[in-house]
Structure 1
Amino acid sequence: VLDLDADAAERVAAEVREKGHEASPFGGVDVSDRAQVDAAVHTLVNVLAALCRPTAGTARVAGYDVVRQSREVRRRIALTGQFAAVDEQISGRDNLVLVARLRGTGRRDALRRAAELLEMFDLTGAADRPVRGYSGGMRRRLDLAASLTGRPEVLFLDEPTTGLDPAARLAAWTVVERLVRDGTTVVLTTQYLDEADRLADTITVLAGGRVVASGAPADLKARVGGRTATARLAGPDAVRAAARALRTEGLGPEYDPRRDVIAVPLTGPRDLAVVARTLDAEVMGDYELAVTAPTLDDVYLSLTGPARPDAAARGAS
């Protein structure tokens, strides 16, 4: 829970502007327009992780005030940033034992916890090799494992898959999903909308310093519309003929005469069958037909507008 009053938010925004960024306050939280709130989001995460003090207002994590009860907050959380913070000169196992020992865990328990985490993150085979020989994906998994040595109630993941290849990203997603199933609260920031779609229970869309939408991914996509049937035809003439025929069936085709594609919003259970039957009757030759559902990209653009994509911010939790 973050609660900054309007005056405090304006003071924070002024500080950001002094550093050369444009910023505006929304609902008590400061948002940097030009940088797509990267700096603001990272600052917010640091405040919630009790790593820096808010200029004004209050924030609570796991029921504790991040300023007055920062020690209690730190005992219950872990934070993983954009880049793996691991010691390359020692082994993966020693990295985990070191972090556990720094958190006050006894050596025997630290070794036991390290073994559990190495198995959980599929690193047992590389456990005793120096980390300098690990791939980027392995380092990221080790970094995530290190953040779990203390069994945190809340785990902050600040753009955890930045720079990872597709396979490593998928592995990281699987780990996050497992953590949530096991009862860990995960607060994740990301620039990837497909990542937010898969991992987030709630997504908040910000534009112009204001919350313009918030809800489950499926609910947000439902606001944009339902499924769409898209057909690629032989040419503009075929597109115009198909559009006329589809309109006589009570459908609302959309097309650009300069292109060979026609899109038909599907509003009822029989619409797709009508589209296919009409195209079979009207189109000479082969055509391609696909059905697509709205994506979070569609949601983002519909809410913020394509003209100023830099003026909007997006976050997920």
Structure 2
Amino acid sequence: MLATPGPLPPAAVEDRWAFEVKQDGQRAMVYLPGDGSILLRARSGTDITAAYPELLPLAHALGARSAVLDGEIVALDDHGRSDFERLQHRMGLVSSPARAARMSARVPAHLVLFDAVHLDGRLLTGLPYAERRELLAGLKLAGAAWSTPAAIVGHGAQAWEMARDAGLEGLIAKRLTSRYEPGARAKTWVKIKVHHLADVVIGGWVPGRGRLTGLPGAVLVGERRDGLLHYAGSVGTGWSEAERARLAEFLEAASTDACPFARVPPVTGARWVLPRLVGEVRYTSRTRAGRLRHPSWHRLRPDLTLGDLT
């Protein structure tokens, strides 16, 4: 079951919702037949069990009881927050168990459990979320490599502020009465992202294709540090058609043959512009190299110049 992007539920009805921390990892369904084995499947259905050997002991956590559980595999940073960039070192190692075992010591994975869809031979998808969570909590699954964090009922605004202040990606709001709908992106599960804002300088762009032919498909942005413009990522969403057309005019007027970034970004088909257009973008987090993750355009900042960003 997938969540639909959206805002926090209104305060007047927030007591009908539970709030969980939005994890930034690899979604996994956990199959525990009760015979001492375990199977982990990704959203695509791929068997990813071999990539995470530290989760194998979970096979014995319920004894002979059988269960199918929903969760997210994460890699935690030094502050206990899920870090997708760290987890990428673990993903894709299904065909190399020996390497997966070595990497498990360097970048430990942790399984966050948040739902139960099958238990002791009983299908739970028709039960309301609140009952499923109670059954999941009753399993008391807590170990070195897995946990069952509690959900908060109501107090959505406070939960969002805590997530923002802690540098988390956001929240998932789940209607207490919601059934589990496999494969559906339901409105009874809502993901509310915590977005950060950054002032950036446009240093280039990539032409769009199809209906965007002749218009920028994405702009290449940077941030000013130590007198140099450092590449921060590619932004390709967030404009209306009119805004994209207006931006195309600005880019054409600022065209140049020289790359303005301190290092030429590895972007095929890039066109360069004089670094004088300042914009504001939303993003969820940064990579270790300083690149913006999930950036989207917010607005031009004609009130700012390059000098304001030094």
TM band (smaller chain): under 0.3
Larger Rg: 1
Q: TM-score scaled to structure 2, two decimals? A: 0.27
Q: TM-score scaled to structure 1, two decimals? A: 0.26
Instruction: Give the number of the structure whose residues are more often strand, by fraction.
Output: 2
